[in-house]
Structure 1
Amino acid sequence: MTDEIDDVVDAVMTASRAMLSVVARSLAAAGEHTGGDTAGDVTLPQYRALVVLAQYGTRRPADLARALTVSASTATRMCDRLVTRGLVARTRTGDDRREVAVALSPAGRALVDEVTRLRRAEMHRLLATLPAAERTAVRDALRRFAEAAGEVGETDWAVAPVPAEDGAR
Protein backbone atom coordinates (compact mmCIF):
# COMPACT_ATOMS: atom_id res chain seq x y z
CA MET A 1 0.00 0.00 0.00
CA THR A 2 2.81 2.41 0.87
CA ASP A 3 4.44 1.88 -2.55
CA GLU A 4 1.10 2.58 -4.24
CA ILE A 5 0.61 5.79 -2.24
CA ASP A 6 4.22 6.82 -2.91
CA ASP A 7 3.60 6.31 -6.64
CA VAL A 8 0.50 8.53 -6.45
CA VAL A 9 2.41 11.14 -4.42
CA ASP A 10 5.14 11.18 -7.09
CA ALA A 11 2.53 11.67 -9.82
CA VAL A 12 0.78 14.46 -7.89
CA MET A 13 4.11 16.18 -7.15
CA THR A 14 5.02 16.10 -10.84
CA ALA A 15 1.57 17.37 -11.85
CA SER A 16 1.75 20.14 -9.23
CA ARG A 17 5.07 21.34 -10.70
CA ALA A 18 3.43 21.43 -14.13
CA MET A 19 0.46 23.39 -12.75
CA LEU A 20 2.74 25.79 -10.90
CA SER A 21 4.56 26.40 -14.18
CA VAL A 22 1.23 27.25 -15.82
CA VAL A 23 0.48 29.74 -13.02
CA ALA A 24 3.94 31.33 -13.27
CA ARG A 25 3.71 31.65 -17.06
CA SER A 26 0.18 33.06 -16.81
CA LEU A 27 1.23 35.60 -14.20
CA ALA A 28 4.16 36.73 -16.36
CA ALA A 29 2.02 36.86 -19.50
CA ALA A 30 -0.71 38.87 -17.74
CA GLY A 31 1.71 41.78 -17.46
CA GLU A 32 2.37 41.63 -21.19
CA HIS A 33 -1.36 41.48 -21.99
CA THR A 34 -2.29 44.37 -19.72
CA GLY A 35 0.50 46.57 -21.05
CA GLY A 36 1.99 47.08 -17.62
CA ASP A 37 4.68 45.53 -15.54
CA THR A 38 2.63 45.33 -12.33
CA ALA A 39 1.86 41.65 -12.85
CA GLY A 40 5.49 40.84 -13.54
CA ASP A 41 6.40 42.29 -10.14
CA VAL A 42 3.94 40.08 -8.28
CA THR A 43 5.43 37.01 -6.62
CA LEU A 44 3.58 33.72 -6.47
CA PRO A 45 2.89 34.14 -2.71
CA GLN A 46 1.52 37.65 -3.39
CA TYR A 47 -0.62 36.27 -6.19
CA ARG A 48 -1.94 33.62 -3.80
CA ALA A 49 -2.95 36.46 -1.45
CA LEU A 50 -4.84 38.10 -4.32
CA VAL A 51 -6.59 34.80 -5.04
CA VAL A 52 -7.60 34.44 -1.37
CA LEU A 53 -9.04 37.97 -1.45
CA ALA A 54 -10.85 37.15 -4.70
CA GLN A 55 -12.30 33.99 -3.13
CA TYR A 56 -13.27 35.31 0.28
CA GLY A 57 -13.49 39.08 -0.06
CA THR A 58 -12.24 41.73 2.34
CA ARG A 59 -10.01 40.40 5.12
CA ARG A 60 -8.04 41.70 8.05
CA PRO A 61 -4.31 41.12 7.49
CA ALA A 62 -4.31 38.66 10.42
CA ASP A 63 -7.08 36.63 8.75
CA LEU A 64 -5.20 36.73 5.46
CA ALA A 65 -2.09 35.49 7.28
CA ARG A 66 -4.03 32.51 8.64
CA ALA A 67 -5.43 31.70 5.20
CA LEU A 68 -1.93 31.83 3.70
CA THR A 69 -0.30 30.10 6.70
CA VAL A 70 2.23 32.89 7.14
CA SER A 71 3.01 35.15 10.09
CA ALA A 72 0.97 38.31 10.60
CA SER A 73 4.05 40.45 9.93
CA THR A 74 4.66 38.63 6.63
CA ALA A 75 1.05 39.20 5.58
CA THR A 76 1.28 42.88 6.55
CA ARG A 77 4.45 43.37 4.47
CA MET A 78 2.82 41.51 1.58
CA CYS A 79 -0.22 43.77 1.81
CA ASP A 80 2.03 46.85 1.91
CA ARG A 81 3.66 45.78 -1.36
CA LEU A 82 0.32 44.99 -2.99
CA VAL A 83 -1.11 48.36 -1.87
CA THR A 84 1.94 50.11 -3.35
CA ARG A 85 1.33 48.30 -6.66
CA GLY A 86 -2.34 49.35 -6.59
CA LEU A 87 -3.60 45.75 -6.47
CA VAL A 88 -5.05 45.89 -2.96
CA ALA A 89 -6.89 48.65 -1.11
CA ARG A 90 -6.54 49.10 2.64
CA THR A 91 -9.40 50.56 4.66
CA ARG A 92 -10.00 51.37 8.32
CA THR A 93 -12.71 49.16 9.77
CA GLY A 94 -13.76 50.95 12.92
CA ASP A 95 -13.06 53.67 15.43
CA ASP A 96 -9.68 52.12 16.24
CA ARG A 97 -7.29 53.50 13.60
CA ARG A 98 -5.11 50.41 13.97
CA GLU A 99 -7.89 48.13 12.76
CA VAL A 100 -7.62 47.72 8.99
CA ALA A 101 -8.91 45.43 6.28
CA VAL A 102 -7.65 44.72 2.80
CA ALA A 103 -9.58 44.01 -0.38
CA LEU A 104 -8.80 43.64 -4.04
CA SER A 105 -8.68 46.91 -5.93
CA PRO A 106 -10.14 47.01 -9.44
CA ALA A 107 -6.59 46.50 -10.78
CA GLY A 108 -6.12 43.52 -8.47
CA ARG A 109 -9.39 41.99 -9.62
CA ALA A 110 -8.40 42.59 -13.25
CA LEU A 111 -5.07 40.85 -12.66
CA VAL A 112 -6.69 37.80 -11.03
CA ASP A 113 -9.24 37.65 -13.87
CA GLU A 114 -6.54 37.90 -16.57
CA VAL A 115 -4.27 35.31 -14.96
CA THR A 116 -7.29 33.02 -14.55
CA ARG A 117 -8.22 33.51 -18.21
CA LEU A 118 -4.68 32.69 -19.32
CA ARG A 119 -4.47 29.68 -17.02
CA ARG A 120 -7.77 28.34 -18.29
CA ALA A 121 -6.63 28.75 -21.91
CA GLU A 122 -3.39 26.86 -21.29
CA MET A 123 -5.13 24.14 -19.27
CA HIS A 124 -7.67 23.79 -22.07
CA ARG A 125 -4.86 23.38 -24.60
CA LEU A 126 -3.06 20.79 -22.46
CA LEU A 127 -6.17 18.78 -21.57
CA ALA A 128 -7.36 18.74 -25.19
CA THR A 129 -4.41 16.45 -25.93
CA LEU A 130 -5.91 13.70 -23.73
CA PRO A 131 -8.61 11.28 -24.89
CA ALA A 132 -12.08 12.07 -23.50
CA ALA A 133 -12.10 9.14 -21.05
CA GLU A 134 -8.77 10.26 -19.57
CA ARG A 135 -10.04 13.86 -19.24
CA THR A 136 -13.04 12.55 -17.29
CA ALA A 137 -10.77 10.54 -14.98
CA VAL A 138 -8.50 13.57 -14.44
CA ARG A 139 -11.52 15.78 -13.70
CA ASP A 140 -13.00 13.39 -11.18
CA ALA A 141 -9.70 12.73 -9.40
CA LEU A 142 -8.77 16.41 -9.22
CA ARG A 143 -12.20 17.40 -7.90
CA ARG A 144 -11.86 14.86 -5.09
CA PHE A 145 -8.30 16.03 -4.41
CA ALA A 146 -9.35 19.71 -4.27
CA GLU A 147 -12.27 18.84 -2.00
CA ALA A 148 -9.91 16.99 0.36
CA ALA A 149 -7.67 20.09 0.38
CA GLY A 150 -10.64 22.38 1.18
CA GLU A 151 -10.46 24.34 -2.07
CA VAL A 152 -13.49 26.15 -3.44
CA GLY A 153 -14.62 24.98 -6.89
CA GLU A 154 -13.49 27.10 -9.84
CA THR A 155 -16.98 28.15 -10.89
CA ASP A 156 -17.77 29.11 -7.30
CA TRP A 157 -15.35 32.05 -7.35
CA ALA A 158 -13.17 32.74 -10.37
CA VAL A 159 -15.69 32.92 -13.16
CA ALA A 160 -18.81 33.66 -11.16
CA PRO A 161 -20.27 37.16 -11.62
CA VAL A 162 -19.58 39.53 -8.74
CA PRO A 163 -22.78 40.98 -7.22
CA ALA A 164 -22.93 44.75 -7.70
CA GLU A 165 -23.44 45.43 -4.01
CA ASP A 166 -20.33 43.38 -3.06
CA GLY A 167 -17.47 45.68 -4.00
CA ALA A 168 -15.17 43.84 -1.60
CA ARG A 169 -14.89 40.71 -3.69
Structure 2
Amino acid sequence: MPKDARPLDAGIAAPEAVEALLAASRALVGIAARSLADIDPDVTLPQYRALVVLAARGPQRVADISAELQVAASTGTRMCDRLVRKGLARRSRPASDRRVVRLTLTAAGRRLVQQVTDSRREHLAAVVAATADVWHPAVAPALRAFAAASGEVPEGEWWLGFPSVDEEAEPADA
Protein backbone atom coordinates (compact mmCIF):
# COMPACT_ATOMS: atom_id res chain seq x y z
CA MET A 1 0.00 0.00 0.00
CA PRO A 2 1.46 3.44 -0.91
CA LYS A 3 2.51 5.68 2.01
CA ASP A 4 -0.36 8.14 1.41
CA ALA A 5 -2.93 5.36 1.08
CA ARG A 6 -4.11 4.91 4.63
CA PRO A 7 -6.80 2.25 5.03
CA LEU A 8 -10.31 3.22 5.99
CA ASP A 9 -12.28 1.15 8.52
CA ALA A 10 -13.57 -1.18 5.79
CA GLY A 11 -10.04 -1.93 4.59
CA ILE A 12 -10.26 0.17 1.42
CA ALA A 13 -7.47 2.70 0.86
CA ALA A 14 -8.54 6.36 0.88
CA PRO A 15 -7.28 7.00 -2.70
CA GLU A 16 -9.23 3.96 -3.90
CA ALA A 17 -12.37 5.32 -2.21
CA VAL A 18 -11.80 8.74 -3.81
CA GLU A 19 -11.39 7.19 -7.27
CA ALA A 20 -14.54 5.09 -6.80
CA LEU A 21 -16.45 8.20 -5.70
CA LEU A 22 -15.18 10.16 -8.72
CA ALA A 23 -16.46 7.45 -11.05
CA ALA A 24 -19.76 7.26 -9.18
CA SER A 25 -20.14 11.05 -9.21
CA ARG A 26 -19.71 11.10 -13.01
CA ALA A 27 -22.44 8.48 -13.28
CA LEU A 28 -24.69 10.41 -10.89
CA VAL A 29 -24.19 13.68 -12.78
CA GLY A 30 -25.07 11.84 -15.98
CA ILE A 31 -28.26 10.48 -14.41
CA ALA A 32 -29.14 13.94 -13.09
CA ALA A 33 -28.50 15.54 -16.49
CA ARG A 34 -30.58 12.94 -18.35
CA SER A 35 -33.41 13.20 -15.81
CA LEU A 36 -33.47 16.99 -16.09
CA ALA A 37 -33.23 16.96 -19.90
CA ASP A 38 -36.15 14.51 -20.08
CA ILE A 39 -38.33 16.83 -17.95
CA ASP A 40 -37.22 20.32 -19.07
CA PRO A 41 -34.27 20.65 -21.46
CA ASP A 42 -34.31 24.45 -21.05
CA VAL A 43 -33.23 24.25 -17.39
CA THR A 44 -29.48 23.85 -16.83
CA LEU A 45 -27.96 21.71 -14.07
CA PRO A 46 -26.80 24.83 -12.14
CA GLN A 47 -30.32 26.30 -12.40
CA TYR A 48 -31.77 23.01 -11.21
CA ARG A 49 -29.31 23.00 -8.31
CA ALA A 50 -30.58 26.48 -7.33
CA LEU A 51 -34.13 25.10 -7.36
CA VAL A 52 -33.00 22.22 -5.14
CA VAL A 53 -31.48 24.75 -2.70
CA LEU A 54 -34.83 26.54 -2.57
CA ALA A 55 -36.67 23.24 -2.10
CA ALA A 56 -34.28 22.18 0.67
CA ARG A 57 -33.85 25.46 2.52
CA GLY A 58 -36.98 27.45 1.70
CA PRO A 59 -36.99 31.08 0.52
CA GLN A 60 -33.46 32.45 0.10
CA ARG A 61 -31.76 35.68 -0.80
CA VAL A 62 -29.94 35.51 -4.14
CA ALA A 63 -26.69 36.12 -2.24
CA ASP A 64 -27.37 33.01 -0.13
CA ILE A 65 -28.06 30.89 -3.22
CA SER A 66 -24.87 32.19 -4.84
CA ALA A 67 -22.88 31.30 -1.72
CA GLU A 68 -24.44 27.84 -1.52
CA LEU A 69 -23.63 27.16 -5.17
CA GLN A 70 -20.19 28.76 -4.79
CA VAL A 71 -20.68 31.13 -7.71
CA ALA A 72 -20.07 34.86 -8.02
CA ALA A 73 -22.96 37.06 -6.92
CA SER A 74 -23.44 38.33 -10.49
CA THR A 75 -23.63 34.73 -11.79
CA GLY A 76 -26.17 33.85 -9.09
CA THR A 77 -28.23 36.92 -9.92
CA ARG A 78 -28.33 36.07 -13.65
CA MET A 79 -29.21 32.46 -12.87
CA CYS A 80 -32.03 33.49 -10.54
CA ASP A 81 -33.29 36.06 -13.07
CA ARG A 82 -33.59 33.23 -15.60
CA LEU A 83 -35.50 31.05 -13.11
CA VAL A 84 -37.91 33.93 -12.47
CA ARG A 85 -38.40 34.46 -16.25
CA LYS A 86 -39.08 30.74 -16.66
CA GLY A 87 -41.75 30.90 -13.95
CA LEU A 88 -39.90 28.44 -11.69
CA ALA A 89 -39.13 30.95 -8.94
CA ARG A 90 -40.47 34.29 -7.83
CA ARG A 91 -39.05 37.17 -5.86
CA SER A 92 -40.97 38.00 -2.70
CA ARG A 93 -40.61 40.28 0.27
CA PRO A 94 -41.34 38.85 3.71
CA ALA A 95 -43.89 40.88 5.65
CA SER A 96 -41.44 41.04 8.58
CA ASP A 97 -38.81 43.00 6.60
CA ARG A 98 -39.90 44.52 3.29
CA ARG A 99 -36.29 45.53 2.49
CA VAL A 100 -35.27 41.89 2.03
CA VAL A 101 -35.97 40.20 -1.30
CA ARG A 102 -36.09 36.43 -1.27
CA LEU A 103 -36.40 33.93 -4.06
CA THR A 104 -39.12 31.32 -3.59
CA LEU A 105 -40.16 28.30 -5.62
CA THR A 106 -43.33 28.61 -7.64
CA ALA A 107 -45.67 25.66 -7.96
CA ALA A 108 -44.05 24.96 -11.36
CA GLY A 109 -40.58 25.02 -9.78
CA ARG A 110 -41.69 22.67 -7.03
CA ARG A 111 -43.22 20.31 -9.62
CA LEU A 112 -40.02 20.35 -11.68
CA VAL A 113 -37.87 19.45 -8.67
CA GLN A 114 -40.26 16.65 -7.75
CA GLN A 115 -40.44 15.27 -11.30
CA VAL A 116 -36.66 15.30 -11.74
CA THR A 117 -36.21 13.70 -8.31
CA ASP A 118 -38.71 10.98 -9.21
CA SER A 119 -36.93 10.36 -12.53
CA ARG A 120 -33.54 10.18 -10.81
CA ARG A 121 -34.97 7.75 -8.27
CA GLU A 122 -36.19 5.48 -11.12
CA HIS A 123 -32.81 5.61 -12.88
CA LEU A 124 -30.98 4.87 -9.63
CA ALA A 125 -33.33 1.99 -8.78
CA ALA A 126 -32.48 0.40 -12.13
CA VAL A 127 -28.72 0.79 -11.49
CA VAL A 128 -29.06 -0.62 -7.97
CA ALA A 129 -31.08 -3.57 -9.31
CA ALA A 130 -28.41 -4.22 -11.95
CA THR A 131 -25.68 -4.25 -9.31
CA ALA A 132 -27.60 -5.86 -6.45
CA ASP A 133 -25.08 -8.66 -5.98
CA VAL A 134 -22.30 -6.23 -4.95
CA TRP A 135 -24.20 -4.07 -2.47
CA HIS A 136 -23.05 -4.43 1.13
CA PRO A 137 -25.29 -3.44 4.09
CA ALA A 138 -22.80 -0.70 5.06
CA VAL A 139 -23.03 1.10 1.68
CA ALA A 140 -26.27 3.00 2.32
CA PRO A 141 -25.20 4.36 5.74
CA ALA A 142 -21.79 5.26 4.29
CA LEU A 143 -23.40 7.18 1.42
CA ARG A 144 -25.77 9.00 3.82
CA ALA A 145 -22.77 9.96 6.00
CA PHE A 146 -20.91 11.12 2.88
CA ALA A 147 -23.86 13.30 1.81
CA ALA A 148 -24.20 14.75 5.32
CA ALA A 149 -20.46 15.50 5.51
CA SER A 150 -20.72 17.34 2.20
CA GLY A 151 -23.52 19.54 3.57
CA GLU A 152 -26.45 18.01 1.70
CA VAL A 153 -29.83 18.21 3.41
CA PRO A 154 -31.49 14.77 3.63
CA GLU A 155 -34.34 14.52 1.12
CA GLY A 156 -36.86 13.77 3.87
CA GLU A 157 -36.20 17.26 5.24
CA TRP A 158 -36.64 19.08 1.92
CA TRP A 159 -40.35 19.53 1.97
CA LEU A 160 -40.90 20.60 5.59
CA GLY A 161 -43.71 22.95 4.72
CA PHE A 162 -41.76 25.60 2.87
CA PRO A 163 -44.59 27.43 1.10
CA SER A 164 -44.53 27.98 -2.62
CA VAL A 165 -45.00 31.55 -3.75
CA ASP A 166 -48.59 30.74 -4.57
CA GLU A 167 -49.16 30.33 -0.82
CA GLU A 168 -47.26 33.48 0.22
CA ALA A 169 -48.14 37.12 0.47
CA GLU A 170 -47.39 39.77 -2.16
CA PRO A 171 -44.46 39.28 -4.53
CA ALA A 172 -41.71 41.90 -4.74
CA ASP A 173 -41.85 44.69 -7.25
CA ALA A 174 -39.35 43.61 -9.89
Question: Under TM normalisation by the shorter chain, which class is it?
Answer: 0.7 to 0.9
| Aligned residue number for residue 33 of structure 1 | none
2:151 and 2:126 map into 1 onto residues whose CA distance is: 26
Pairwise CA distance, 1:107: 0.6
Question: How many percent of aligned residue pairs carry the same amino acid?
Answer: 46
Question: Residue 58 of structure 1 corresponds to which residue in structure 2?
Answer: 59
> Aligned partners of 1:73, 1:52: CA distance in 2, in Å?
18
Q: Is the counterpart of residue 166 in structure 1 residue 166 in structure 2?
A: no
Match of 1:89 in 2: 90
* Contact kept in structure 1, 2:107 and 2:164, CA below 8 Å: no
CA distance in 1, matches of 2:86, 2:108: 9
Pair 1:136 & 2:137 matched = yes
Q: Report the 3-state secondary structure (helix = DSSP H, G, I; strand = E; otherwise coil) of the residue aligned with 1:28.
A: helix
- The answer on whether the counterparts of 1:88 and 1:108 sit within 8 Å (CA) in structure 2 is yes
Instruction: Name the structure 1 match of 2:171.
Output: none
- Could you tell me which residue of structure 2 aligns to residue 2 of structure 1? 4
Mark the runs of 5 or more structure 2 residues left unpaired by the alignment.
Answer: 6-12, 168-174
Change (3 A) 1:166 1:84: closer
Instruction: Note if contact 1:51-1:112 (Cα within 8 Å) is conserved in structure 2.
Output: yes
- Superposed counterparts of 1:2-151, under 5 Å: 2-3=4-5, 4-30=13-39, 39-93=40-94, 94-96=97-99, 99-131=100-132, 134=135, 136-151=137-152
Question: Given residue 72 of structure 1, which amino acid in structure 2 is its aligned partner?
Answer: A
4+ residue stretches of structure 1 with deviation over 4 A?
none
- Residues 25-71 of structure 1, C-alpha deviation per residue, up to 9 Å, x if partnerless? 100111xxxxxxxx211111111000000000101111111111112
TM-score (norm 2): 0.80
The runs of 5 or more residues in structure 1 that have no matched partner are 31-38
2:110, 2:164 within 8 Å by CA — same for their partners in 1?
no
Normalised by the length of structure 1, the TM-score is: 0.83
Q: Is the 8 A contact 1:127 1:135 kept in 2?
A: no
Q: Is the 8 A contact 2:106 2:164 kept in 1?
A: no
Shift of residue 95, structure 1, vs aligned partner:
4.2
**Considering only aligned residues, what root-mean-square deviation do their CA atoms show, in Å?**
2.1
Change (3 A) 1:50 1:95: closer
Larger Rg over CA atoms: 2
Instruction: Give the aligned residue type for 1:2.
Output: D
